[in-house]
Amino acid sequence: MIVILKQNAKKEDIEKFTKQIEAKGIKVSPMVGEHTTILGFLGDTTRLDMDDIMAVDIVESVRRVQEPFKNANRKFHPQDTVVRVGKQGVPIGDGRLAVLAGPCSVESEEQIIMVAKEVKRLGATVLRGGAFKPRTSPYSFQGMQADGIKLLLEAKKETGLPIVSELMSIRHIDLFADIDIIQIGARNMQNFELLKEIGRCDKPVLLKRGLANTMEELLMSAEYIMAEGNQNVILCERGIRTFETYTRNTLDITAVPVIKKLSHLPIVVDPSHASGQSWLVEPLSKAAAVIGADGLIIEVHNDPKHALCDGAQSLDFGQFEKVMGELKQLRETV
Amino acid sequence: MIVILKQNAKKEDIEKFTKQIEAKGIKVSPMVGEHTTILGFLGDTTRLDMDDIMAVDIVESVRRVQEPFKNANRKFHPQDTVVRVGKQGVPIGDGRLAVLAGPCSVESEEQIIMVAKEVKRLGATVLRGGAFKPRTSPYSFQGMQADGIKLLLEAKKETGLPIVSELMSIRHIDLFADIDIIQIGARNMQNFELLKEIGRCDKPVLLKRGLANTMEELLMSAEYIMAEGNQNVILCERGIRTFETYTRNTLDITAVPVIKKLSHLPIVVDPSHASGQSWLVEPLSKAAAVIGADGLIIEVHNDPKHALCDGAQSLDFGQFEKVMGELKQLRETV
Amino acid sequence: MIVILKQNAKKEDIEKFTKQIEAKGIKVSPMVGEHTTILGFLGDTTRLDMDDIMAVDIVESVRRVQEPFKNANRKFHPQDTVVRVGKQGVPIGDGRLAVLAGPCSVESEEQIIMVAKEVKRLGATVLRGGAFKPRTSPYSFQGMQADGIKLLLEAKKETGLPIVSELMSIRHIDLFADIDIIQIGARNMQNFELLKEIGRCDKPVLLKRGLANTMEELLMSAEYIMAEGNQNVILCERGIRTFETYTRNTLDITAVPVIKKLSHLPIVVDPSHASGQSWLVEPLSKAAAVIGADGLIIEVHNDPKHALCDGAQSLDFGQFEKVMGELKQLRETV
Amino acid sequence: MIVILKQNAKKEDIEKFTKQIEAKGIKVSPMVGEHTTILGFLGDTTRLDMDDIMAVDIVESVRRVQEPFKNANRKFHPQDTVVRVGKQGVPIGDGRLAVLAGPCSVESEEQIIMVAKEVKRLGATVLRGGAFKPRTSPYSFQGMQADGIKLLLEAKKETGLPIVSELMSIRHIDLFADIDIIQIGARNMQNFELLKEIGRCDKPVLLKRGLANTMEELLMSAEYIMAEGNQNVILCERGIRTFETYTRNTLDITAVPVIKKLSHLPIVVDPSHASGQSWLVEPLSKAAAVIGADGLIIEVHNDPKHALCDGAQSLDFGQFEKVMGELKQLRETV
C-alpha cells in the first residue's frame, strides 16, 4: 500500500502516523521528495482499510499494490480450481466448456422435465431453473418458490442432471438442501450476510457479478464466501449496466481473461441475461467459448413465447441445438 | 401500455394475441398503419410484465404509458406523506429540513453518547449510527453488531433522539425492535425478500438508492415495502456510480425534484456517502436544501481522523455546526 | 413515430397539432383510450425531430418506430457493403477477416517501414499509423504530423500496403490525399462538420465509436457521411467508458452482431484501445473474429517498450505472429 | 509521479530505466520493499506521459501525484480568474451569479431581438443563441448558420448584450469575429485542433464538459486553450451520461465545488441541457447558485412550444422571470 502525504504534513504527525501503522505489524518505508513524502506499507495490508487511511488528516491519497483478496487470488493458488457438482461430480473449470441450461422459471412438472430431458440430450450437464425470482416489480410473477424447488428435484431424479437455482434469502436455505449449486444473483452480489451464510456450507456457489460492480468487487464477494470456508465458487459474468440501451446490459467479455488472470476460480458467462434477446445468445456464446470461459448458462424454454418470465431471451430447443452444434465445432478447434 | 408489432405480423396472430390480453381484463385498441400495427392496452396494466409481452413473436417493442408503481405514486396520493419517527413523532416530509446525523459506525458507549448529545444540541432530530456495516472486504471491520445496537439504544435513552440504523439481514430483525427507522442500504435496495419482510412491520424505513439503480427502480423497491402494508417509506439519494473518479459516487441531485414529482414519499440526501469527502458535505447539503430535499443524513464523528470506517467523509463537531448554521440561514430564505 | 398525449390534452389542441403534422406530409392516426390518446405518425418521419415534438405542450412522450438512419440501414440495403481500399481494392466486409495493423504513432522512416514489412509478411492487408495524435494533455507528444504522413506514404511505396491514418482537422485534409482510409477517432465521432466534409470525398472512412455513444448514434454519424455522398464507411467498435477501471475501456463485443443486423456497413474491432493492455489483444481478437467482425485494427510496434505513445497496448512482432496464427485457425473453422 | 515496478524487475533494468528518466531532468527516488520496488519521479512530470511509462516492461502501474494541468491549476494561480466579456467587460467569475440566456437556436430577426430585450430586462447579462447546431441526425435542423450569426449581431446592436454562440469548425472562425464568447460544445470538448486554434485568439471561451469526460479531462482541455496563450476560459458543467434515463443527462452538481478547488477558472452550469426538461431548470438553477457556480446558461424562448430545436427544455418569459426572482432572493442570502 502506498500512501501519499499532503504537502504540508508536519514531521511529528508523520512520525505519529508511522508508529500507529507499525503497531499493526506493518513495515513503513518513507520516500521523501522535495514537495511530497510517500509512505510505503509493506507486509499483509489486506486488513488495512483504505478509507481508514484516507481519513488521517495528513494523507492526500492511498493506493493498493497488492490485491485485497487472498483465497480467490491466483498468486497464492496458481492452479485452476475445478468445482465438482452433484453426486457424479460434474466438473466446471477443467478446461472444457460446461453448459448449464434450462428455463428462467420453473412453471410445471411437465415443463421442467421436458426441458431437462431435452437440454440433457443436447449436451447440457447442469439444469438451471428459477424457483425464487427477483423481479423489479412486486406485481410480477415471483416464481413457484418452494413448489418450484420440488419440481426441480423431480427433474433431477428423472434425468440425473444436477440443479442450479437462485437463493434469495437465508430463510429458504433448508429448501436448497438437495439443490446442487446455489446461485447468488446479481442483485445480491453484495448481500454480505447471505454470502457469509453460504460460505458456511460446502455446496458449490454460482456468484453473479452485480450490475454496477467491478471485477475486483466480484472477487471480494467471492472472498466473503471463501473466507468462511467454502472454496467451491464459480463466478459469472452476466453483463453490466451502461448508457447503451439497445441491449439490456453490456456483456463485459473482457472480464473472462481478466478474472482468469487474477483468480483460479472458474468463470461462466450468461449470454441470455447479458443481452436480453434470444438471437444474441448464439454469437455471444461463441465469443465466450473462444475467449476462455469455463461454461455458459443459457436460458432454454419449451415455449419461449409463452414463458412466464424473460421469454424474450430464452432459446427454444431448435435454437439451443444449433448453438450446441456451433460450440462443439468451435471447441474442437480451440 | 403500447405494443408495437413487427412489420410482418399476420392478422390471425394479432387476433390470437389480442384475445389472450383481453382475457386478463385489459382492453386492446389497435392502430393500423401502412407498415406497422400498434396495440394500445388500456386498463390496469401494472400486473403485465414487459418481458412477457416482449417474448411474443409478433411483438417488436413495448412501452409503458402508466408508471408501474401505485402505492408510491403521487397521482393516486397527491398530498406529501409525512413519516413520523419514534415516540415523539419526529416528522420527516413536513416541509422542514430534517437532519439525521451521527457516526458511520458505533464504536463505544462513550463515543455514541458524546456524538448523540452534540448533534442534538446542534439541531439534528434523529441519530444515525451503524452497528452492522456492509464492507466490500470481509477483512474490514464489520461493525459492533448486536453490541452496537445496544449502545445506540443507550444513546437514545440518554438524549431522546430516535435512531436510524442499517439492517442487513432478516436474521437481525428482532434486534431492531426498538430502533426507530430501519435503514436499507444501497447494496440491498433490490434484496426483495428483505424488502417484503420489512413491509410487514409498521416501522419507518429509510430506503437508499442502489449504486446503479434508476429512480423508477427505487420507487419499485419502495412499492415492494408498501405493497406489504408498510407505508412509512423515506427515500434516500446517495450518489450513483458513473465513470467519474474524483468523487466516490456522483450525487444525482436532480433525483430530488423528480422523485417529489413522481411520488408523495419524503426524500433525503446523503452528501457524505455521495462524495466520500468531508469538505464536500457543506456545499452538497446546501444544494440539497434549496432543491427541496426533506432531509439530510450526515456523518458526524467526534474524531474523524481515528474513525473505524469512512472517516474521510465524516464531519467533526465544528464542521457540523458550521453546516447547520448555513442550512438554517438558507432555509429561512427559502 | 408514436406520440403519447397528456391526459388532460384538449380536443381542439389535438386537432391543431394533427394539422401541423399533416402539413408536413405525414399521416396522423389517432388511438383514443379512456385516459390517454396516442397519435401514430405514418410516413417518412426521419426529418421530424423528437425534441421538437416533445416541446409541444400536449405531448407526454414520443417514441420512434422506424430507425432514424436511412443510408446506413440494412432494411433499405439488405446486402453487405464491401468497402474496397487503395489501388488494389483490398476488401473490407467481404466475409473474410481483414487485419489493419501498425504502430500507434509513426516515429521514423526506419520504424514505419520495418513495421509495415513485418505486418504485411504476417498477413495484415492495411497499415495503420498515427501522424496526428489526439492526446488528453497538450504536453504529450502530438504525433509527427505532416512528416508522419510522408513517412506513411514511404511505407506504402515500399510495401504496397494501403494506409489508414487519423484525420483530426479539416485543415489537414489535403495532406491526406494519398492516404487510403481516413480514420475519424472516437473523440471526433460527433464532430459533425468534419463528418460532412469527409462525406464529400469518396475515400473510405474508418469511423470509430465515441466513448459514450450508443450504437444508434454511431450509425447516425455514419449517416452524416453517407448523406453527403460517401458510402464507403467502415465502423469500428473500440470500447466504451463504464465504471470498470481494470481495463481502459469496456469492449462492447455485442455491438458487432447488433450493428450487422441494423446496418449493411462493415464493422471492425479495435482490441488494442478497448483494453489498453497488450496481453488482452489476443483473447479479444479471437472473440471478435468468431462473433462476426469484418476486421481487426491492431497496434503493432517494433519495440513497444520504447514506443512514444500507447506502448502498453502494442504487440511486438512475435506476439502479433501468434495472434495471426490463432485467428487463421479459428477462421478456418468458422 | 509514482511508478510501481513488477515483483520480478531486475536490478539492471531498474538502473537503465532510472537513467532514461533522469536524462529528462527528473529526479528518481527509489523505495525498495521486500517484494516491490517503487520509484518516485520528482520535478516537472507534466511532460511525462503515463502510457509511455506503463509500456516499460518492468512497470506494474503508474500514478500521478501532481495534477497534469498547470495554467488552469489553482495551486499556481490562487486567485479566482474573472473573465471580462465584450466591450463593457461584463464579468464572469467575480463572485456574482452571471446569467447567460437566450434561445437554443436563432430563428428570425424578430425572435432573437424580442428574446434579447426580454432576457436583458429580466437581468441576463449575456445573450446566448445557436447559429451552428450540433444535431445527432443530419436530417435535423442544423441552425441558420452564417445568417444566424448576423442576427445575433443585430440583437447585440439593439440591446448591447454581449453574445455567446457555439463554434463547430475552424472554417467558421472568421464569422465569429464580433461574437463575444466562443462556445465549444460538449461533443467538441476533445476536438483538440479546434481547442488549439481558439487558444490563439484572446476571446473568452465557454468550454462545455463532454458527455463522458471527467473533470480532470475538462481541465486538460482548458489547458489546451491556455497553453496556446488564451487564458479567458469559462468552464461549463452540463450533465454527464449515465444509466439513468428519466433525465437527458445527469447533472454532476459536485463538479462545481471540485472545479473551484482544483482551478481558478470560472464555472457555469447549464440546467437546460443537463435535464432536458423546462420544469427542472428552476430547481437545478437554485442548487447551482448556492453551491457556488459563477453563472448559469439558460435556454429562454419566446414560444418554446414552437421552437425549432430543444423546445422541451426552454423556458418562456414568465418562467424565466420566476427563476430570476428566486435566484435574486437566494443570492441575497448567500
Looking at residue D334, what is its pLDDT?
A: 64
Decide if A40 and D33 are in contact by the 8 Å CB cutoff.
yes
Using DSSP, state whether A272 is helix, strand or coil. helix
| pLDDT > 70 fraction of chain C, expressed in percent and rounded | 97
> What's the mean pLDDT in B249-275?
97
Quote the DSSP letter at residue B155.
H
* Chain D residues closer than 8 Å to B250 by CB: 240, 242, 250, 252, 254
Looking at residue C141, what is its pLDDT?
A: 87
Q: Report pLDDT digits (tens) over C294-323.
A: 999 999 999 887 766 667 889 999 999 999
Looking at residue D323, what is its pLDDT?
A: 98
* Chain A residues closer than 8 Å to D3 by CB: none
* SS percent in chain C: helix, strand, coil, step 5: 40, 20, 40
Q: Return the minimum-mean-pLDDT range out of A38-42, A243-247, B299-303, C78-82.
A: A38-42
* Chain B residues closer than 8 Å to D288 by CB: 287
Q: Return the minimum-mean-pLDDT range out of A123-132, C100-109, C259-268, D3-12.
A: D3-12
> What's the mean pLDDT in A37-59?
82
Contact B302, B111 (CB under 8 A): yes
Q: What is the rounded average pLDDT for all residues in chain D?
A: 93
Decide if A171 and B170 are in contact by the 8 Å CB cutoff.
yes
Which of the four pLDDT bands, split at 50, 70 and 90, describes residue B318? very high
Helix ranges restricted to H, B127-248:
146-159, 192-199, 215-227
Contacts 24+ apart (CB under 8 A), B300-305: B300/B101, B300/B102, B300/B103, B300/B115, B300/B118, B300/B119, B300/B124, B301/B103, B301/B104, B301/B115, B302/B103, B302/B111, B302/B114, B302/B115, B302/B118, B304/A55, B304/B278, B305/A55, B305/A56, B305/A57
Binding partners of B (≥3 Cβ pairs within 8 A): A, C, D
Decide if B169 and A171 are in contact by the 8 Å CB cutoff.
no
Chain A contact for C258 (CB, 8 A cutoff): yes
Q: Report pLDDT digits (tens) over A103-117.
A: 999 999 999 999 999
Chain A contact for C292 (CB, 8 A cutoff): yes
Decide if B240 and D244 are in contact by the 8 Å CB cutoff.
yes
Looking at residue D34, what is its pLDDT?
A: 65
Which residues in chain A (171-200) have CB-CB distances under 8 A to chain B? 171, 187-188, 190-194, 196
Amino acid identity of residue C63, one-letter, is R
Chain C contact for B244 (CB, 8 A cutoff): no
H helix or E strand, kind and range, residue C84? strand C83-85
C-beta neighbour count of C91 within 10 angstroms? 17
The grid coordinates listed for B127 are 441519530
Helix ranges restricted to H, chain D:
11-22, 50-54, 109-121, 146-159, 192-199, 215-227, 255-262, 271-275, 281-291, 317-333
Which of the four pLDDT bands, split at 50, 70 and 90, describes residue A309? low
- The CA-CA-CA angle for residues C321, C327, C332, to 5°, reads 130
Contact D288, D259 (CB under 8 A): no
Whether residue C259 is predicted with pLDDT greater than 90 in this model: the reply is yes
The torsion angles phi and psi of D45, rounded to 5 degrees, stand at: -95, 10
Whether residue B228 is predicted with pLDDT greater than 90 in this model: the reply is yes
Q: Which residues of chain D have pLDDT under 70?
A: 33-35, 307-310, 334
Region of D169 on the Ramachandran plot (φ > 0 left; ψ -120 to 50 alpha; else beta): beta
Helix ranges restricted to H, B67-179:
109-121, 146-159
Per-residue buried b or exposed e for A201-231, using 16+ beta carbons within 10 Å of the residue's own CB: bebbbbbbbbbbbbbbbbbbbbbbbbbbebb
What whole-number distance in Å separates Cα of residue A230 and Cα of residue A198? Answer: 8
The grid coordinates listed for B264 are 408523495
Residue matched to cell numbers 392516426: C29
Using DSSP, state whether A270 is helix, strand or coil. coil
List C-alpha distances in Å: A199 to A46, A216, A226, B134, D148: 19, 19, 6, 16, 67
Of residues A11 and A218, more confidence is placed in A218
Which of the four pLDDT bands, split at 50, 70 and 90, describes residue A25? confident
- Compare all CA atoms of chain B with the CA of D239 and give the residue at the minimum distance: B252
Chain B contact for A76 (CB, 8 A cutoff): no
Q: Report pLDDT digits (tens) over B33-42.
A: 666 788 888 7
Q: Report pLDDT digits (tens) over D29-65.
A: 887 766 678 888 888 787 788 777 887 888 888 888 7
Q: Report pLDDT digits (tens) over C30-76.
A: 877 666 788 888 787 877 877 778 878 888 888 887 788 999 999 99
Decide if D280 and B274 are in contact by the 8 Å CB cutoff.
no
Per-residue buried b or exposed e for B9-23, using 16+ beta carbons within 10 Å of the residue's own CB: beeeebeebbeebee
Quote the DSSP letter at residue B209.
P
Using DSSP, state whether D236 is helix, strand or coil. strand
Binding partners of A (≥3 Cβ pairs within 8 A): B, C, D
Chain D contact for A75 (CB, 8 A cutoff): no
Whether residue B13 is predicted with pLDDT greater than 80 in this model: the reply is yes
Looking at residue C323, what is its pLDDT?
A: 98
pTM score, whole prediction: 0.93
Q: Report pLDDT digits (tens) over B141-175.
A: 899 999 999 999 999 999 999 999 999 999 999 99
Distance from CA of D7 to the nearest CA of A (A): 11
What whole-number distance in Å separates Cα of residue D168 and Cα of residue D194? Answer: 8
Residues 6+ apart with CB under 8 A from A54: A61, A62, B311, B312
* Chain A residues closer than 8 Å to D31 by CB: 29-31, 38, 40
- The CA-CA-CA angle for residues C115, C121, C122, to 5°, reads 90
Picking from C62, B213, B245, the residue whose alpha carbon sits closest to that of residue D276 is C62
Which of the four pLDDT bands, split at 50, 70 and 90, describes residue B81? very high
* Chain D residues closer than 8 Å to C57 by CB: 305
Looking at residue C55, what is its pLDDT?
A: 77
Q: Report pLDDT digits (tens) over A76-86.
A: 999 999 999 99
Binding partners of D (≥3 Cβ pairs within 8 A): A, B, C
What whole-number distance in Å separates Cα of residue A51 and Cα of residue B241? Answer: 18
For chain D, the maximum distance between any two Cα atoms, rounded to a whole number of angstroms, is 76
What whole-number distance in Å separates Cα of residue C85 and Cα of residue C96? Answer: 14
What whole-number distance in Å separates Cα of residue D56 and Cα of residue D185? Answer: 37
The torsion angles phi and psi of B249, rounded to 5 degrees, stand at: -135, 175
Residues 6+ apart with CB under 8 A from A97: A289, A293, A294, A295, A296, A327, A331
Q: What is the rounded average pLDDT for all residues in chain B?
A: 93
Chain B contact for D163 (CB, 8 A cutoff): no
List C-alpha distances in Å: D5 to A41, A258, D51: 15, 20, 15
Looking at residue C247, what is its pLDDT?
A: 94
Beta-strand pair C233-237/C205-208:
parallel
> What's the mean pLDDT in B211-225?
97
Whether residue B239 is predicted with pLDDT greater than 90 in this model: the reply is yes
Q: Which residues are bridge partners to D63 per DSSP?
A: D2
> What's the mean pLDDT in A71-79?
95
Chain D contact for A40 (CB, 8 A cutoff): yes
Looking at residue C9, what is its pLDDT?
A: 87
The torsion angles phi and psi of A108, rounded to 5 degrees, stand at: -165, 165
> What's the mean pLDDT in C236-243?
98
> What's the mean pLDDT in A200-206?
95
* Chain D residues closer than 8 Å to C210 by CB: 212
> Residue D61: is it exposed, middle or buried by C-beta count within 10 angstroms (0-12/13-18/19+)?
middle
Kindly provide the residue ranges of all beta strands, DSSP E only, lying in D120-191, ordered along the sequence. 126-128, 163-166, 181-184
Structure ipTM: 0.92
H helix or E strand, kind and range, residue D5? strand D2-5
Decide if C310 and D168 are in contact by the 8 Å CB cutoff.
no
H helix or E strand, kind and range, residue A12? helix A11-22
